[in-house]
Each structure stands twice: as structure tokens, then as C-alpha cells.
Amino acid sequence: MDPAIGDIPRADILIRSGQIIDVGPHTADRETGDVQTIDGAGTVTLPGFVDTHWHLWNSLLRGTVGDRPGTDYFTVKRALAPHFELEDFYWAARLGLAEAAGGGITTVHNFDHNVRGPQDADANIQAHLDSGLRGRFSYGPPDSSAPESTNDLDDLARLRDRWPGDRLDGRLDFGVALRGPYRTPPEVYEREWATARSLGLPITMHCDRCLREEGCRSCGLVRLEELGLLGEDVQVVHAVHAGEEDIRALARTRTRVSLSPMTEMRTMGFPLLTELLEAGVQVSLSLDTLAMPTSADILGHLRTIISVEIARTGSGTVTPRRLLQLATIDGARDLGLHDSIGSITPGKRADIVILRSSDINLVPSGDPVEALVYTGQIDNIDTVIADGRILKRHGRLTLADDEENPVAVAAARRDALLGRATAAGDWHWPACTTANPSQTISGPATADEGSPR
């Protein structure tokens, strides 16, 4: 992913103290002393994937959201969100981040749109640090909060004091998740934007529906530009209804766009990947939520995306290599991290994925980039390194001896969550009436409910 280095058929990657020191043939021969060696024969090595929009808090909802009536994302979220305890937020984030690590995603932007208080924010930040991954925590309002209520702006300043750089290990920074002009009145969004910018915090917002009352499309991106609300410090998520003028506004203002094609195609429409790239918009990719449900099988997602783009546009703009760039260096660029991650470049931090190219689905071999995107899968990921720490080895997540398994704990927390919701009369498993599937499968969420915001 570094054009100055290119693809190297046989190379060593020398890492010291979490930093890539050298890349090229036989660099490891120079290193003496206590060196750990990972044999990369029969593998392909990539920079770690970067996810730029993920609601980690609702990872516990996977398994309860589905296609049967009464199990759509919004119904389940409304029923279960009030029963979350503080520990649930921590373990939901750990579950999502563990799945990320297993899938080779070494950076996650946690778009937290259910921060109910300072403790929730702290739990998410602690989970991120404990996971070993890199990322951003973007502070949002509580789920279903009134349009007139602003984000807890005082707590944004507190975050800086409570979590100084040395506590964040150089792996986490902060942003704000705002609802924007579509969902909040001017006195709210103007204050939120001004505060975020005065604190130097990047802004993220969903743009998933049409701003009909303004007579424009896709949450009024042209109008947002006129209001001075777009820019390099702003990430717009989805924008699936953007018209040509909206896309030009994004390009002019160098606003970032995060696309989550797997959830967009289920509830919103086709992501406009080709159009955005051809207009020169800075695009990156994201999972959105595990609840929808989806999974961290990035290569599977890329394969779907390229097939859809070719079928939809007939354009050759989206190629396998372009997709790998979107999932790595362009994600890093979205988060302002392209000088430190996103490619295997000496001087950058060691966020690295090693895939077995000798697995059955990648044999016989050809162009490795085409092979990964067209036939690669999550099972091929042998080793994942984040900031020099090995988080996955020989296909399994590494855990310290005294470390609780996030998968097991999160599953237990989810069951306890359902127990509390059931006792309160807010939850019951829908009847499984598979005798007549036509009555049990509902369509996508209504236009009113839109995306998994």
C-alpha cells in the first residue's frame, strides 16, 4: 500500500518496539540478540485494515436482530438499550474489538451514539485500550435523546484531562459524533460544531436520509457546505442518496465519507462508491454494527462491493487494489493517521496482517491482490499485529493467562441483559414459525427508520 515500496515478492519486515524499522530482502539478518521471528513463507502480508465507523456498544444485539417480525434493528435496540449496565458497554466494545482483531482490523473508529454519561465513555475507552487495537472514540449523545439536547460538551473537556496522551498509549484519539442539522435544531448543531472545532476534535455524523423540507437530497450536503459545516475535519457516513451537487460539495470541502456497504445495502440503498471516487472524494470503509447483523470478514465485504459496483455502474474505477487501499491507507487518511499507519513503511507503526496464501481458496496462485479480494476469506488470516503486539497467531486470538475471554464474557452479558429485559416485560424471543417462511421474513426497515444510526 506504499507506492514507493510496491509489492515485494520476498521480504523481511523488521519491527522494533512496535515500529517498522525496515522492509526488504534480508533486513532481519542485521538484527542480533533476542529477536522473535515469524516465518512468512507461504503468506501474504498487508497493513492492518482500518474501520472508520463502528457502533461498538450494540455488539451485544447480534443474535437478537433478524428478519422475523419484531426483530428489526430499531425495535430490538429500543427494547434492550434501557437495560444495558455499565459492564455491558465495556464487554460489548471488547466483543466487537475482538472480532475486529480476528478479522485483521487493527484500527476501529468507535462511533458511540449511546453515551449516557461519563462512565460509559470511560468504559469504552478502557475497552479499547485493553483490546490492544488502535482507534478513535467519538463521543455521541444518549440513544433516543431529544433533538433539543446537546452532546455533553463539558464531558468532552473532561476526557482530555482524564485520558492524557500517555494513558492512551499513542493508540487512541477522540472525536465527536453529532446528529447534525437533519436531526437537531440550529441552536444545538451550531453550538456542537463550534465546541468541537474549538477543541480541535474531528466530527462524524450520519447522512442517511433525504432532507426533504430543504428541497435537497441526502441530508442536504450542499446546504451543509453553505452553513460551513463540512470540511476536512468532518466525516459523513453513508450519503447513499447524494446527488451530483452533494458529491461535488463533498469533494470541494474535502469532507471524508465513510461507506458501510453491507448495512447500506440492507437498509438504505446502494453505496455510491464509484461516483464518490470519480469525483475525488476521500472515501473509507466501515462495518457500522455487528447487530445488523454483519461480521468482520473484510475480504468477503470487498468481494461483494466490487461485484455490486461492476454490476451497478459497469465502471472499472473500483479494482481489487483500490479496495485494499480503501480498507487500509484511505481509512488511515480518514482518521488523520496516514503518516503512522495504513502501509508497511519504515517509520510507521507495526499494524500488520499475515494471511496464508497456501490455503485451498487461494491456490493455485496468481496476482495476490486479485486473489485476496476475489477468493480470500477471514479464515486465511494467520497472524494479526497491532502496534507491534501479536493479537492473533496461528489463526487464534492471543490472550494473556489472566485475561478473560471477551467472547465468552460478552455472550454471558448478553444473556443476562435479555434476562433483565424479559423480567421487565420488554423482551421475549419471537416465536419461531418456520412452517410458513413467507410469513416470517420481513423486508428491509421502513424508510422512516433508515439506517442503524
Q: Which residues bind Zn ion (CB under 5 A)?
A: 288
We find the least distance from the C-beta atom of residue 111 to Zn ion, in angstroms, to be: 6
Note whether 252 and 261 are within 8 A (CB): no
The residue among 88 and 288 lying less far from Zn ion, judged by its C-beta, is 288
The residue among 109 and 303 lying less far from Zn ion, judged by its C-beta, is 109
Residue 383 CB contacts under 8 Å (≥ 6 apart), including other chains: 38, 352, 353, 354, 390, 392, 393, 394
Q: Map 88-145 to HEC letters.
A: HHHHHHHHHHHHHHHCCEEEEEEEECCCCCHHHHHHHHHHHHHHCCEEEEEECCCCCC
The residue among 334 and 351 lying less far from Zn ion, judged by its C-beta, is 334
We find the least distance from the C-beta atom of residue 453 to Zn ion, in angstroms, to be: 5
The residue among 81 and 344 lying less far from Zn ion, judged by its C-beta, is 81
We find the least distance from the C-beta atom of residue 367 to Zn ion, in angstroms, to be: 33
The residue among 77 and 349 lying less far from Zn ion, judged by its C-beta, is 77
Q: What is the DSSP string of 394-422?
A: TTEE---TT---HHHHHHHHHHHHHHHHH
The residue among 368 and 452 lying less far from Zn ion, judged by its C-beta, is 452
Nearest alpha-carbon partner for 189 in 214, 224, 236: 224
Q: Which residue is nearest to Zn ion (CB)?
A: 288
Note whether 417 and 291 are within 8 A (CB): no
We find the least distance from the C-beta atom of residue 206 to Zn ion, in angstroms, to be: 6
Q: What is the DSSP string of 144-184?
A: T--TTPPP-HHHHHHHHHHS-GGGGTTSEEEEEEE--TTTS
CA dist 102 to 83, 223, 261, 438, Å? 28, 41, 20, 36
CA angle 150, 151, 152 (to 5 degrees): 115
Phi, psi of 337 (to 5 degrees): -110, 15
We find the least distance from the C-beta atom of residue 110 to Zn ion, in angstroms, to be: 11
Edge-first strand order for the sheet with 234-238 is 49-54, 105-112, 134-139, 172-178, 203-207, 234-238, 256-259, 282-285
The residue among 292 and 381 lying less far from Zn ion, judged by its C-beta, is 292
- Looking at the DSSP bridge assignments, the partners of residue 112 are 139
We find the least distance from the C-beta atom of residue 208 to Zn ion, in angstroms, to be: 8
The residue among 140 and 376 lying less far from Zn ion, judged by its C-beta, is 140
We find the least distance from the C-beta atom of residue 140 to Zn ion, in angstroms, to be: 10
We find the least distance from the C-beta atom of residue 93 to Zn ion, in angstroms, to be: 15
- Looking at the DSSP bridge assignments, the partners of residue 136 are 109, 173
The residue among 205 and 352 lying less far from Zn ion, judged by its C-beta, is 205
Pairwise CA distance, residues 171 & 107, whole Å: 9
Phi, psi of 125 (to 5 degrees): -65, -45
We find the least distance from the C-beta atom of residue 178 to Zn ion, in angstroms, to be: 13
